[in-house]
Amino acid sequence: MLFSCLVVSCKKDSPVVQVPQVANSDMTLSLRFNVTSKVGDPGQDHGEWSVDWSSLGLYIVYTRGDVMSFVFDRSTYTYPLVLNVFEGTADVFVAAFPDGQTAPRCKTREEIYNLTTLDVTTLASGKQEYMRNLFSGVTRGIVIEKEKRNEISVVCNRIVAKVDMQYDVQPGIDNGKFVEAGMSEVAFYGAPKYYMFNDFKTGPSYTEKEIESLSGTLSARNGRVYSYMFPSNGAGMRFTIDYKLDGDAQNEVSYRANFMNGIEEDKWYKVNFTVSGKNVDAEGGVDVSIAEN
């Protein structure tokens, strides 16, 4: 009787041992970067046709809750990529980062959903190049089967928009509004950082900040400038004009232009501003409101 009681007691107190999933299936990943996207500039190419990533994160999120995480640098990445993975139904997430940021090994689906870029307002240099080379893509609902040739394809797009601003202040001089006038500063405002998989994020959105400010290199009377920007609802521009009236000292006036419908990923926004005195007209097929600061 004593022996029987000891056996029962041991079984009752023993923890349940869970057998981990075994990676027993091969998955061949074909990865394509979309450089013929909506981000562009018919006047001049600023590098949109190139993809200069240095770190790649591949994340497999299974419907049952498992997560597999792989990280590659440019020198270790092979195409096509063959991986040993779990069988099951899953979503495949890919995030490509340029120099300055390394893809993390995410352990949970929440970490993947809320994976972000750097805060570009903290970058001392190379901000535009960094933003231009951020790509991500998702393929949903794939079925990975054991002992079958599982071929998965993911298309990655740029996560930034391109805001292209063209301006002309000459009409203000021609119409006698100003004796002298010139654009002295253009600043772009938008989200300082962004979620790599924004459609899946569970974290908060980011408050708009000044992303890029241009001054010393501007053409005074007319010119064209651009900035890459993360999508946000409060994106816009501020620009300042220095002017003189006949016999007056130097003055300045600043304007703020906002995209009323925000800006989206992988799109090109072209805005034309014509300044006549303190009046500014905007053209270019986007909905922009202008208010003097």
Q: What is the pLDDT of residues 114-133, one digit of tens each?
A: 999 999 999 989 999 999 99
The whole-model pTM stands at 0.85
Instruction: Specify the DSSP element, H or E, that contains 282.
Output: strand 279-283
Quote the percentage of the chain above a pLDDT of 90.
53
What pLDDT digit, counting tens, does each position of 25-41 carry? 999 999 999 886 666 65
Q: What are phi and psi of 9, to 5 degrees?
A: -60, -40
- Residues 9-24 have a mean pLDDT of 50
pLDDT higher than 60, residue 140: yes
What confidence score (pLDDT) does residue 36 get? Answer: 66
Give how far Cα 282 sits from Cα of 85, 174, 181, 271, 288, Å: 53, 19, 18, 7, 7
CB atoms near residue 13 (< 10 Å): 7
Q: Is residue 132 within a helix (H) or strand (E), and if so which, with residue range? A: helix 127-132
pLDDT digits (tens, 9 = 90+) for 69-111: 999 998 888 888 899 999 999 999 999 999 999 999 999 999 9
Predicted local distance difference test score (pLDDT) of residue 276: 80
The pLDDT confidence band at residue 45, using thresholds 50, 70 and 90, is low
